[in-house]
Amino acid sequence: MDVGQYLEIFIDETKEHLQDLNEQLLVLEKEPDNENTINEIFRAAHSLKGMAGTMGYKRMQRLTHDMENVFSEIRNGKMTVQANLIDVLFKGLDALESYLAIIQSTSDEGTEDNEDIINALNEILEAGTGKKSSAPAKEPETKTEETKSEGGASEAKFAALKLSEYEVNTINKAKEVEQNVFGLTVYIQENCILKAARAFLVFKCLEELGEVVKSDPVVQDIEDEKFDFDFSVVLITQAPMDKVKTAVMAVSEIKDVVIDNFVVPTTTTETKEQKKAPQATAKGGAAAATATATTKNAQQAKKPAGKPVVNRSVRVDIEKLDVLMNLVSELIIAKNGLISIGGSEDGKNSNSFNEQIEYLERVTTNLHESVMKVRMMPIESVVNKFPRMIRDLSKKLDKKMELYMTGEDTELDRTVIDEIGDPLMHLLRNAADHGLEKNEDRVAAGKPEVGSVFLDAYQDGNNVVIEVRDDGAGIDTDKVIQKALDKGAITPEQAEVMTEKDAIDLLFKPSFSTAEKITDVSGRGVGLDVVKTKIEKLGGDIECKSVLGEGSNFIIRLPLTLAIIQALMVELGSEKYAIPLGSIQTIEDVPCSDIKYVQTKEVINLRGTVIPLIRLDKVLDVEPREVEPESLTVVIVSKGEKLAGLVVDNLIGQLEIVIKSIGKYINNNKVISGAAILGDGEVALIIDANALV
Amino acid sequence: MSDMTNQAANAATEKQYICVKLANEQYGINIKYVDNIVRMQRITRVPKAQKYFKGVINLRGEIVPVMSLRLKFDLEPDEYTDATRIIIIKLEPQSSVGLIVDAVKEVVNLDEESIDKPTYNEKDSKSQYLAGVGKVGEELISLLNISDVIIEKDKKESANN
């Protein structure tokens, strides 16, 4: 039977069931006797097994079958829920998730049998039903894990690198001029979240030392996270071996580095396609995709794995689609109305023409709104995996903590939802790992023993705000400044005048977070620049508030929708610019005589608030007006609580604009967030008020 | 029959280049990167951009940044004439770049034998943009390494900033 057509549905539903299982297991851990939960878990596991069987995924079916057996016994009251059982079950869920990930990218379940989990489950089952202690069940499992990690480490994979003729030449030349040629295999810790970022940092530090001539997988794949937990490079450098090694190890979350002098293998004439196949089969698992791709189509072999066989899909409420359908039919009616007016060439019809335009406008606005609603998803789909993560962290770090979430139903644009998961996870991990103190320290400081991490999402005007809060130790700004001084990131003079806020901002600087063992200071700083970049890419911003001893709060602000916004069109000289309406507070006419000076900067006093003036023509290098008018048109914009007045030449009016990117090649110092095409085909640039305030 | 196979073999080693004029030099751009060639049109200036980026244009609903090859190569600023063209380069999907050139002349076929490798000179920043020199009869065509022209090397950028 060809089940390919059901693959999408299978993946969607499996994800839902797995999420369900995760949530229910968390409940079960707290309330081991909750019958409803047990029933619920049993049902979900049962459907999973059935679906996996139908699709022909034997390994997945076997694992779920054994899990189901356990639940079945629990349901029948023959055994009780124990802590180690929950652990094994969670491991089982993780294994299922990795099956699913492989299926998603290759439509095959891979070759991992997960015997250890199955054995553990069966042992628990035997022990549990035999009313014996189930303690020994844990042993074999941990053992297999150890052997696994031992087998995985300390392997010098770089020796197997295949080089092109050009690369061999480069290496030989380097050897002639007495440069060192090293082969490195870098292992990243398996619990690392942003491994691509870590790999990037490794590359950055390698490139400071010398030249990377070869990497496997290729750099692009590494950047796209298309690698397991290790990668190999060939480096030409003048630095000695131990210096290279310490430099790489200085990047955090690196497990191990194997380094040795690189010897050029004798057989280097293989074609690219031939090279990839054996490597891929050797790696197995996710890389199996490479092998199949190679045999199928030699040309496609250059783009292996990673590319999912299934397109991403969204489930849309049928009601939303009905609304869309209605609007489209109205659109057709409006069009027909315009045609009939066009046919009756009378001038007296200009009235009904305007009517039709208004009608059309109403329809398009509604259409826009509905399409946006289709694109909106509750943030729940991202955050619902966090309780499980915090539970695991709590066990791993041996700290008691609790995650409190609110506003899971807050809706965000789909593109944002897809991207926001990683940064949030990073912030939560930071909060749990470094923010919260150890249980003893908490008690000593007079705080409740169990630490709290909060994740709050809510809508604020045209923005969605997500706060990640903890009641831990907060950020010790003095230590941060000291560390920055040690690193040479700031000068002592700068340090003198630094406010607490400036110090916290340091944490977001890339040079800072790549620092070695920054975790020892107050913890913060690991990858915060990565988080910041990602959020800014989504058009949002992040700030951090922290009170020493009371905890810290990371506040992420994201635009509600990305593509279409209302904007105020303004004129500067002969150029037109758009300012997003969302950031505009008011528009004021200010007589020149009202301008005051504070520290030689222009400000106005508007109804008791002092607002700095920003001359847009100067910021944007527009030819200034020859004669200064008697009064200025000032657009007051806000970012959070801060206000600023943008001086413009003229106001044109309000317009609904579609935001387009101006491409990544052109620099603009963040003042311009994009461009919009106006009715006459002209391009207007969109001013990012947030960057100016 | 043998002719046909010969031709096929030739086509495999031959590359097509669009030959453009810039001041008194000729440059070749590999045709596989060229998405389109359009006439000069209204360019919207982008403040604070690199000097050689003249701004952005609206190309059938897409925003395309446009750079002046003359400014990039430190030549005299452009004078727009009827012959001035914007060559739309697509290095990767979803991100095009336009290059302003004085004129587009022709499409030339070059096989490997008629391309000389460039001499690499570290001090001459312009030589990094060249992928080779092509010979067509008596004429010489500088073949552009288009990705290096468009993508600014990180190091240089940080030095400028």
Distance CA A63, CA A84 (A): 17
pLDDT at A271: 43
What are A177-216's pLDDT values in tens digits?
A: 777 788 878 887 776 667 777 777 777 777 777 777 777 7
Q: What is the mean pLDDT of residues A252-279?
A: 60
Residue A465 near residue A556, CB atoms below 8 Å = yes
Least confident residue range of A248-262, A547-561, B129-143: A248-262
Q: Name residues whose C-beta falls within 8 Å of residue A137's C-beta, 6 or more positions apart in sequence.
A: A84, A88, A120, A123, A124, A127
Q: What is the CATH number of the domain that holds A164?
A: 3.30.70.1110
pLDDT at A135: 40
CB contacts of A575 in chain B (<8 Å) are: 44-45
Query: Does residue A149 have a pLDDT over 70?
Result: no
Q: Which residue type, as a one-letter code, is found at position A166?
A: Y
Question: Does residue A611 lie within any of the structural domains?
Answer: yes
The verdict on A27 and A102 lying in the same domain is yes
Query: Does residue A423 have a pLDDT over 70?
Result: yes
CB contacts of A662 in chain B (<8 Å) are: 46, 56, 63, 65
Any A CB within 8 A of B59 CB: no
Place of tokens 């057996």: A69
The verdict on A12 and A37 lying in the same domain is yes
pTM (predicted TM-score) = 0.49
pLDDT at A26: 83
Catalytic site residue from A16, A29, A34, A46: A46
Q: Name residues whose C-beta falls within 8 Å of residue A559's C-beta, 6 or more positions apart in sequence.
A: A413, A416, A462, A463, A464, A538, A539, A540, A565, A582
The verdict on A462 and A579 lying in the same domain is no
Any A CB within 8 A of B47 CB: yes
Q: What is the mean pLDDT of residues A424-441?
A: 84
Query: Does residue A350 have a pLDDT over 80?
Result: no
Q: How confident is the model at residue A269 (pLDDT cuts 50, 70, 90)?
A: very low
Task: Locate A63 and state its tokens.
Answer: 């694992």
Catalytic site residue from A180, A430, A463, A690: A430
Distance CA A7, CA A375 (A): 23
What are A227-250's pLDDT values in tens digits?
A: 777 778 887 887 777 877 777 777
pLDDT at A511: 61
Question: Does residue A68 lie within any of the structural domains?
Answer: yes
The verdict on A9 and A74 lying in the same domain is yes
A46 labelled catalytic? yes
Choosing among B33, B48, B86, B91, which should be mutated to test the A contact, i.e. which has the most A CBs within 10 A? B48
Query: Does residue A597 have a pLDDT over 80?
Result: yes
Smallest CA–CA distance, residue B97 to chain A, in Å, is: 8
A412 strand-pairing partners: A377
* Residue of chain B nearest A660, judged by CA positions: B63
The verdict on A163 and A230 lying in the same domain is yes
The verdict on A539 and A571 lying in the same domain is no
CB contacts of A664 in chain B (<8 Å) are: 95
Residue with more model confidence, A585 or A314: A585
Question: Does residue A572 lie within any of the structural domains?
Answer: yes
Question: Does residue A443 lie within any of the structural domains?
Answer: yes
Question: In chain A, how many domains are there?
Answer: 5
Any A CB within 8 A of B60 CB: no
Q: What is the mean pLDDT of residues A462-490?
A: 81
A165 labelled catalytic? no
The verdict on A387 and A367 lying in the same domain is no
The verdict on A238 and A218 lying in the same domain is yes
**Contact yes or no for B47 and A666 at CB 8 A:** no
The helix/strand/coil state of A692 is helix
The pLDDT mean for chain A works out to 76
The verdict on A126 and A173 lying in the same domain is no
Percent of chain B with pLDDT over 70: 80
Place of tokens 């944007």: A620
CB contacts of A569 in chain B (<8 Å) are: none
Facing B63 at nearest CB: one of A621, A662, A664: A662
Facing A668 at nearest CB: one of B47, B61, B97: B47
**Contact yes or no for A619 and B47 at CB 8 A:** yes
Task: Locate A693 and state its tokens.
Answer: 């305030």
Residue B131 near residue B144, CB atoms below 8 Å = yes
pLDDT at A274: 44
Q: What is the mean pLDDT of residues A424-436?
A: 84
Percent of chain A with pLDDT over 90: 5
Q: What is the mean pLDDT of residues A316-343?
A: 85
Residues in B 106-135 with any Cβ partner in A closer than 8 A = none
Question: Where does a domain end: A506, A526, A559?
Answer: A559
Q: How confident is the model at residue A283 (pLDDT cuts 50, 70, 90)?
A: very low
Any A CB within 8 A of B46 CB: yes
Q: Residue A229 — φ and ψ, nearest 5°? A: -125, 15
Catalytic site residue from A40, A68, A411, A437: A68
Query: ipTM strictly over 0.90?
Result: no
Residue with more model confidence, B41 or A240: B41
Q: Which residue type, as a one-letter code, is found at position A171?
A: I
Question: Where does a domain end: A130, A152, A174?
Answer: A152
Q: How confident is the model at residue B37 (pLDDT cuts 50, 70, 90)?
A: very high
Facing B95 at nearest CB: one of A664, A677, A685: A664
Q: How confident is the model at residue A517 (pLDDT cuts 50, 70, 90)?
A: very low
Question: Does residue A223 lie within any of the structural domains?
Answer: yes
Least confident residue range of A55-59, A333-337, A630-634: A55-59
| Structural domain span for residue A343 | 318-371
Task: Report in angstroms the alpha-carbon separations of A219 from A200, A203, A232, A253, A336.
Answer: 9, 9, 11, 19, 55
A431-434 CB contacts, 8 Å cutoff, 24+ apart:
A431/A468, A431/A469, A431/A470, A431/A472, A431/A552, A431/A554, A432/A390, A432/A393, A432/A394, A432/A397, A432/A399, A432/A401, A432/A470, A433/A393, A433/A397, A433/A519, A433/A523, A434/A472, A434/A519, A434/A522, A434/A523, A434/A524, A434/A526
**Contact yes or no for A662 and B42 at CB 8 A:** no
Question: Does residue A275 lie within any of the structural domains?
Answer: no
pLDDT at B86: 93
pLDDT at A578: 93
Any A CB within 8 A of B58 CB: yes
Q: What is the mean pLDDT of residues A56-62?
A: 82
Question: Where does a domain end: A539, A559, A579?
Answer: A559
The verdict on A86 and A138 lying in the same domain is yes
Any A CB within 8 A of B88 CB: no
The verdict on A588 and A659 lying in the same domain is yes
pLDDT at A435: 81
Residue A214 near residue A236, CB atoms below 8 Å = no
Question: Does residue A210 lie within any of the structural domains?
Answer: yes
The verdict on A389 and A519 lying in the same domain is yes
Domains in chain B and their CATH numbers? 2-150 (2.40.50.180)
Distance CA A412, CA A376 (A): 5
Residue with more model confidence, A504 or A404: A404
